[in-house]
Amino acid sequence: MVTYIIRRLIGAVIMLLIVSMATFAIFFLVPQLAGATPEGMASRYVGRTATAETAKLAAERLGFNDPLVVQYGRFVKGIVAGAEYDYGPGVEECPAPCLGYSFITRQPVFPDLMNRLPITLSLAIGAAVIWVIMGVGIGVLSALRRGSVFDRAAMTVALAGVSLPIFFTGLVSLLVFSYGNPFSFAAQGGHYTTFLDSPSQWAYNLLLPWITLAFLFAATYARLTRAGMLETMNEDYIRTARAKGLRESTVVTKHGLRAALTPILTVFGLDFGLLIGGAVLTESAYSLPGLGKYAIDAIVNQDLPKVMGVTLLAALFVVVASLIVDLLYAVVDPRVRLA
């Protein structure tokens, strides 16, 4: 078990390295390949108003003329040990986990991200609770009553669900249940109250985003669970369990569902990791000021360091989530080889 954990940890670290390289490539290599000059990049980083002369100076001081390896080294060093940006008019401090420094708002990105994280986290956790219960529940029932009216209806709705983009369902849900319409019970988008301030207001504001987001994922999970359950319930050990005289509920939950859940756990880990790295579409549709909205607003303002920060943080979450899933896998599914 210990060697397994160590192997997974090493894998996660390698993954993080690759992700940091990819992020670096997106923000420093791709623009150069696309024909951006160091001066042009520098002026995009320090704000667009820079004159040719100051842009050149900034490019020099920010090191955009250095070889890529040196730039990458500095990028990683900034994450680990913090960085200082001497861009001409002054020196800007960016303390330890320096995921970038926004020259537009003149602030390091990391504290911003930490302010936005609770919002995205609230959204993701609430939705995850709903979609796992709904998706897995409906999937199991559909599999057990295969071919029934319930199964057909549920799978039709699920198929429609995976075909609907969230930025459309989000919009429609706001049109129907908010904006002062006859059915309006839910909050309009754009409001967020912290859980500590008022749990009820927190839930009220997030209710619509939760349901919409959960609907999308529940549809996918219901389809996955149904397929998995249909497969496992045909296994020989299920017959054995029934032959032993176990109650049907025990057979379904302990023998069937447990095996069917393991692949879903993997998917869930990735989905959840991706979501807390920025539920970009949901947050945009409901104007929730989370990480995803932060990234999109930054793109609109061409504030690249902020986008870079979100990208790195999102990647970190995915890596950590898949690490946790790998470790849980060994606990949930006894068939997993630990070697």
Partner 1 sequence: MTAPLDVPGSATEADPEAVLAGADRKAIQGRSLGQIAWMRLKRDKIALAGAGVIVFLVLVALFAPLIVKFLGHPPLEFHREKIDQSTLTPTGAFGGMSWDYLFGVEPLWGRDIFSRIVYGARISLLIAFLATLLSVVIGTVLGVVAGYFGGWVDTVISRAMDVFLAFPLLVFAIALAGVVPDQAFGMSGDTLRVSLLVFIIGFFSWPYIGRIVRGQTLSLREREFIDAARSLGARGPYIIFRELLPNLIAPILIYATLVIPTNILFEAALSFLGVGVRPPTPTWGGMLAEAARFYTVPHFAIFPGLAIFVTVLAFNLFGDGLRDALDPRGR
**Smallest distance from partner 1 to CB 174, Å:** 7
Number of residues that bind partner 1 (CB under 8 A): 53
Task: Kindly identify the residues of this chain, within the stretch 235-254, that bind partner 1 according to CB under 8 A.
Answer: none
Nearer to partner 1, 98 or 241 (CB): 98
d(CA 253, CA 257): 5
Write down how long the chain is.
339
d(CA 275, CA 281): 10
Q: Output DSSP code: residue 96.
A: S
**Smallest distance from partner 1 to CB 327, Å:** 15
Instruction: Report if residue 143 touches partner 1, rule: CB under 8 A.
Output: no
Instruction: Report if residue 304 touches partner 1, rule: CB under 8 A.
Output: yes
**Smallest distance from partner 1 to CB 243, Å:** 26
**Smallest distance from partner 1 to CB 291, Å:** 9
Nearer to partner 1, 130 or 230 (CB): 230
Instruction: Report if residue 18 touches partner 1, rule: CB under 8 A.
Output: yes
Instruction: Report if residue 167 touches partner 1, rule: CB under 8 A.
Output: yes
Whole-Å CA distances, 17 to 142, 199, 312, 315? 42, 39, 11, 10
- Tell me how many degrees the CA angle 232-237-336 measures, rounded to the nearest 5: 70
Task: Kindly identify the residues of this chain, within the stretch 262-301, that bind partner 1 according to CB under 8 A.
Answer: 270, 273-274, 277-278, 280-281, 284-285, 292, 295-296, 299-300
Q: Output DSSP code: residue 65.
A: T
Instruction: Report if residue 68 touches partner 1, rule: CB under 8 A.
Output: no
Task: Kindly identify the residues of this chain, within the stretch 170-229, that bind partner 1 according to CB under 8 A.
Answer: 171-172, 174-175, 179
d(CA 127, CA 285): 15
CB proximity list for 131: less than 8 A, separation 6 or greater: 213, 214, 215, 216, 217, 218, 221
CB proximity list for 302: less than 8 A, separation 6 or greater: 44, 48
Instruction: Report if residue 233 touches partner 1, rule: CB under 8 A.
Output: no
- Tell me how many degrees the CA angle 45-47-48 measures, rounded to the nearest 5: 115
Binding site for partner 1 (CB under 8 A): 15, 18-19, 22-23, 26-27, 30-31, 33-36, 40, 159-160, 162-165, 167-168, 171-172, 174-175, 179, 270, 273-274, 277-278, 280-281, 284-285, 292, 295-296, 299-300, 302, 304, 307-308, 310-311, 314-315, 317-319, 322
